[in-house]
Structure 1
Amino acid sequence: MNNHLEEILRQFIEDVSGVYGDAVLAVVLYGSAASDDYVRGKSNINCLILLSEVTPQQLKKCSGYLGKWHDNGIATPLFIDPVYVNSSVDVFPIEFLDMKQRYRVLYGQDFLRDLQLQLTHLRFQCEQELKGKMLRLRQLYIERTQSPQDLTRLLIRSLSSFMVLFRALLHLRKLPAPQSAEEILTGLSQVQLRVDAMRKVYDLKRSDLTLTQSELNSLFADYLSEIQATIDSLEKMDVSAT
């Protein structure tokens, strides 16, 4: 963690504690800001707040702080309570897995540590999400194919959303939990999946590299092909044998 991020988180905890007091059971930092993937000014700072009970009245209390939080790079927090957690692990296993693999408790109890996720639930959601995002990616490509800037942004943003699903796929393969995008790509290559185009998209995010319209269209075609191959491998996966 860098000093700038630490100061932002310190102020955030002060704000949350001041607003909610004893109703706060935990505050958790998750995602790229809890890993080596965090890039100041580019990565969101994602936080989850566990309250004893979430009500509209409780949600409204923090509205006056959103401007400050957003200015500091903090996305609008997720608010959940214990009842929601216990009733949702079978519906959102990918989201909970993603949190469990990259998180840091900023305040209170570590409720994520002992959450149990079923592989059958995880596989179903993973396939559903991958296919849905693939369809949406095709639609957005049609809308943005004429603009190099828009197409570049589409590639970068889509890769971030796919990374969450790829991390779940590697979990299904019983591989060690990857902490960074680079580790995810390495893991995919270890299970015989091509990631050359994905690596190029990742490089676009991490650098000031600029590609021509022709290069972007070619990259997109290869990128789409690699994602489809990943979906194909998941369809053949026997969870009971992993």
Structure 2
Amino acid sequence: MTRDPLKELERFAEEVSRASGDNLVSLILYGSAARGDFDPERSDLNLLMILREVTPATLRPLGDAVRNWVRRGQPPPWIFSEAGFRASADVFPMEIEDMKEAHRVLRGSSPFGDIKVERTHLRAQLEREARQKLLQLRAHYAATEADGKALSRLVESSFRSFLVVFRALVRVAGEAPPRTPEALVQSASAIAGLDLEAFRWALDRNAGKKVAPLGPYDPIAARYLEAIERLVLHIDSLA
């Protein structure tokens, strides 16, 4: 992570604009930096790049800019052609809904005007993503339960990864996801019938509050895992 990631973001945007010229349709910032809860110590800068044409020849001029961006500790941008992005709403509905809700146009124009996400596609990806994240959580929980520090890191990182699941669940229920993690988890817990307090340690930790680290075999972590298990069962039951 750079010392001034937002300054580096503008530098990257300018490099991409010069390298791509008229082939650049959109460069979009999304994720926590667009939602307003960016933490320079923990958050990434997530970017969507749309080009008129995507070929080896049109990608080559972007090489230096993308390599330098990744070397600074940032994830590589998602790169789509115009046609490819319009056709992706059934494949990446969760990501596209998140982008539509909170984004910042760095260069070019917004690509979301005529993009429509179907509920059936959103629900299908929601189940797949929730199941995958649960499988990962179970495996890491088994491996770290005896180590309080590792268990703390697991619950903290797992919770952040499940925020996208909470947002998608609220959307599938026909509601608008709240912007803050506290309100979002409260809304998702009400929809799925979850124990909100099972997420209290993770919520406080995510908010930067001073909370004691977890200990070995900590019941807080077990309660969190049980709540996630119930969350996935609820998602499975959705029609």
TM-score bracket for this pair, using the shorter chain length: 0.7 to 0.9
Deviations 1:92-139 (A, max 9, x none): 211211211221111212112331011011111111211121112111
Give the letter aligned to residue 117 of structure 2. Answer: L
Structure-2 separation of matches of 1:72 and 1:202: 28
| 1:24-53 residue CA offsets vs partner (Å, 9 max, x unmatched) | 000100000101221122110111110112
Structure 1 residues 210 and 69, CA gap change in structure 2 (3 angstroms):
farther
Residue 186 of structure 1 is matched in structure 2 by 186
2:97 corresponding residue in structure 1 = 97
Cα distance, 1:148 vs structure 2: 2.5
- 2:180 is the counterpart of 1:197: no
Q: Which ranges of structure 2 fall in alignment gaps of 5 or more residues?
A: none
Deviations along 1:147-178, one digit per CA (max 9) or x if unpaired, are: 32322222122112211111011001111232
Give 1:5 shift: 5.4
Q: How many residues align?
A: 234
TM, length-normalised to structure 1: 0.87
Offset, 1:65? 2.8
Instruction: Sort the Cα spacing of 1:194 and 1:45 in 2 relative to 1 into closer, same or farther, 3 A.
Output: same
Alignment of 1:81-160 (within 5 A): 81-160=81-160
| Higher alpha-carbon deviation: 153-162 or 22-31 | 153-162
Question: Percent sequence identity over matched residues?
Answer: 32
1:150-229 alignment to 2 at 5 Å? 150-191=150-191, 192-207=193-208, 209-214=211-216, 217-229=218-230
Match of residue 15 from structure 2: 15
Q: 1:138 to 1:118 in 2, by over 3 A?
A: same
| Structure 1 residue runs without a partner (length 5+) | none
Deviation at 1:68, TM superposition (A): 4.0
Whole-Å separation in 2 of the counterparts to 1:154 and 1:90:
31
Cα drift, residue 73 of structure 1: 5.4
Amino acid at match of 1:148: G
Change (3 A) 1:62 1:147: farther
RMSD: 2.1
